[in-house]
Amino acid sequence: MKFLADDNMEGRDTGSPGLQRASAYVVDQLKRAGFQPAGTDGFYQPIKFRTRELDEANSSMMLVQGEKQQKITLGDDAIFSMRVDLAPEVNAPVVFVGYGLRIPELSLDEYAGLDVKGKIIVMFNGSPSNVPGPLSAHYNSGGEKARLMRELGVVGFITLPNPAAMDLPWSRIASSRLHPAMAIDDEKLNDSRGIQFAAGWNPAKAEMLFEGTGHTFAEIAALGKDRKPLPHFDLGKSIHAKTHVNSHKVESSNVIGKLPGTDPKLKDQYVVLSAHMDHVGIGEPINGDKIYNGAMDNASGTAALIEVAKSLKGVKPKRSLLFVFVTAEEKGLLGSRYFAAYPTVSIRSIVADINTDMFLPIYPMKSLIVYGLNESTLGDEITTVAKRDDVATMDDPEPLQNHFIRSDQYNFIKGGVPSVALKNGYEKGSLEEAKVKEWSHTRYHAPSDDLQQPVDLSAAAEFERIVRGTMIEVANAPARPEWKADSFFKRYANEQAAGQ
């Protein structure tokens, strides 16, 4: 972690020399651990990206209501989102669509009776309380939302953060808006194709959108805080946006190593451990520091996997072990998206993915959060392994934040692979929860996520023990993990099987 989060790595931005140095270090560690290359170019799997960089001085946004034109202050009122290819000019009416969800399984359709074709939809982040976490996560994912918008003929969207569930203060969201965004330079893998406009709105400035509608943002936020159903209505205004976006090509690589299994039948199957190596690079200085070191996010996860790899000398697992260190997670899970689309071993041969992203060893580990705990038998295996050390497993305590789809495991899930992501646990209302909240507010995606912060090494060691133990159990078990019969995500495994 000291090496990976050193200032010399310059925050490991995708495509940067700093991330290249960090990746070379990971390759070197894998070689020392006796791993074999399993990329497309030795240990590397190079990926071509293109950047999206907003030329803000030549971009503008207006809120138009009849004769009245209100200039939107970029950064303060709203920001353009670079997760889509912004059209140079967009002029379209805005309509409020609540959470913007259509969930056939629950007969929930927030678009029923609304005319959204050719319009910009305004969505409040989250979901009503009758929507279970995994469904909420899936239908709130960028890919699913974009697919629905294409189907509805929507021009673009504005997201309103839920003030009760923001893990980043607006100031930090606004200050990172000029970081270059990226897309995989492969139109097949462009999930937001066809969407022409995207913006995020400062919740403290959101009343201006609702003026004159008979509704207020305060009312919406109060309902959203308790995950109550939201109203849907025309906002009686339109957005007129002009943007200038620059782009250039960037290359960055995943790093993949394997330890071959020893069982003649099972060695063609793989247990994957994954972690992202990249972070957000150099940015807006905070307290005079401009290097966003990403020590917890995710030098810690990368280091944990390296430690597990180094501990495997002399271990002879039945199934093969595949360590996948991905790039461009911070750009929208792009490295894992690419790996799942172009896997270096057949995706069907991957029996499980255990992902580690920012597991926060900042207090002693009493429990372990398992995102996806109840979705597959992999959750049960982790529970068994953790119990040996008196560590209890628990499901996501923050279902509103969509953690299950917010890191690289999601691309494995969509490939049909039973997957989990793990994190140091905390109970609601506990001292540990307060520490996590405090950490998020002060250090998450800030330069202070660096090597000066306190680390609980006992928690890190416990975490590694559980990850390693689970991996060995899965590698040696007679049967591969399976999705639970009632898991929503089982459908991807079925699609995968049908496609073969």
Q: What residues make contact with Zn ion under the rule CB under 5 A? A: 297-298, 357-358
> Would you say 243 or 300 has its CB closer to Zn ion?
300
Cβ burial, residue 239 (10 Å; 0-12/13-18/19+): buried
The alpha carbon of residue 221 and the mean position of all alpha carbons in its chain are separated, in whole angstroms, by 24
> Would you say 279 or 480 has its CB closer to Zn ion?
279
Closest CA to 168 of 382, 449, 428: 449
> Would you say 302 or 320 has its CB closer to Zn ion?
302
Residue 255 Cβ vs Zn ion, minimum distance, rounded to whole Å: 16
Residue 296 Cβ vs Zn ion, minimum distance, rounded to whole Å: 8
Residue 408 Cβ vs Zn ion, minimum distance, rounded to whole Å: 9
> Would you say 110 or 297 has its CB closer to Zn ion?
297
- Per the structure block, which two tokens stand in for 3? 């090496």
Other C-beta atoms within 10 Å of 113: how many? 7
Radius of gyration for the alpha carbons in the chain, expressed in angstroms and rounded: 22
Closest CA to 381 of 478, 459, 249: 478
Rounded CA gap, 143 and 402, in Å? Answer: 14
Beta strand spans in 84-128 (E): 89-96, 102-103, 108-109, 120-124
Rounded CA gap, 58 and 422, in Å? Answer: 43
Residue 294 Cβ vs Zn ion, minimum distance, rounded to whole Å: 8
Residue 247 Cβ vs Zn ion, minimum distance, rounded to whole Å: 25
> Would you say 292 or 426 has its CB closer to Zn ion?
292
Closest CA to 30 of 40, 20, 41, 38: 38
Residue 451 Cβ vs Zn ion, minimum distance, rounded to whole Å: 17
Rounded CA gap, 434 and 173, in Å? Answer: 22
Residue 469 Cβ vs Zn ion, minimum distance, rounded to whole Å: 23
Rounded CA gap, 315 and 271, in Å? Answer: 14
- Per the structure block, which two tokens stand in for 205? 């400035």
Residue 357 Cβ vs Zn ion, minimum distance, rounded to whole Å: 4
Residue 233 Cβ vs Zn ion, minimum distance, rounded to whole Å: 37
> Would you say 243 or 298 has its CB closer to Zn ion?
298
> Would you say 13 or 357 has its CB closer to Zn ion?
357
Q: Residue holding tokens 């100031």?
A: 171
Question: Alpha carbon of 47 to those of 253, 274, 356: distances in Å?
Answer: 6, 17, 22
Other C-beta atoms within 10 Å of 434: how many? 11
Q: Is 42 left (phi over 0), alpha (psi -120 to 50) or beta?
A: left
Helix (H, G, I), strand (E, B) or coil at 334: helix
Residue 301 Cβ vs Zn ion, minimum distance, rounded to whole Å: 7
> Would you say 99 or 444 has its CB closer to Zn ion?
444
Which contiguous run of DSSP H or E holds residue 26? helix 17-32
- Per the structure block, which two tokens stand in for 430? 């506990």
Percent helix, strand, coil in the chain, to 5, is 35, 25, 40
> Would you say 201 or 359 has its CB closer to Zn ion?
359
C-alpha triplet 89, 177, 164: angle, nearest 5°:
110
> Would you say 47 or 475 has its CB closer to Zn ion?
47
Residue 335 Cβ vs Zn ion, minimum distance, rounded to whole Å: 12
> Would you say 6 or 449 has its CB closer to Zn ion?
449
